[in-house]
Structures are given as C-alpha cells and as structure tokens.
Amino acid sequence: MTAEVSYVGRTSMEAEVNVTAENPVTGECVHTNTAYVLYVAMDDEGKPIEVPRLIAETEEEKERMLEGEKRQEYRLTQRRRIDSAGNHQKADRK
C-alpha cells in the first residue's frame, strides 16, 4: 500500500491511497484499488484551520493536483445538493 498527498485546500488535504496484492508464489504484484481519503485540519476547539499549501513541482504532481481540485469541486457540489435537498424536505414538512 502506498499513499501520497494528492490535493491540499485551505483547511483540508486529500491523500491518494493505492493498494496492491502480491501473489505469494510468483511474487507478482497487482494493483487492486485506489481510495481518496480526505482530512480536515482542526484546532483544539474542533474548528477547521488552514494548512500549508502543496507545491506541485513535476508534471505528474501538477496533474495529480488538478485531478484533486476536480474531486474537491465534485465533493462540494454533492454537499450543496444534499444540503439543498435537506432544506426542501424540512420545508415540505411544515
């Protein structure tokens, strides 16, 4: 298993985790899955705090960062949709 920071926002960072399986007989390794884990930095009171920016230097790092930005935008869009749906359900109950 390997992990790398793939995106850093203002208060959060995303890690790309790649998992491989190894055949114990042949030693062949095969990629089995990838996960993106999001962490939010918090202060002692549980409030989000800013994190240092990630400086992408190589083309691979720059591409990983762009893809991370897309995933972050998707997460925010989904959150807005869920929040909006929740507000509509509350209004319908009144």
pLDDT digits (tens, 9 = 90+) for 3-60: 999 999 999 999 999 999 999 999 999 999 999 999 999 999 999 999 999 999 999 9
- Full set of structural domains in the chain with CATH: 2-93 (3.10.129.10)
Three-state DSSP at 45 gives coil
CA–CA dist 84, 76 (Å, integer)? 12
For residue 89, pLDDT beyond 70: no
Under 8 Å between Cβ of 20 and 31: yes
CA–CA gap between residue 28 and residue 68 (Å, rounded) = 30
The pLDDT score that the predictor gives to residue 92 is 64
Q: What pLDDT does 88 receive?
A: 66
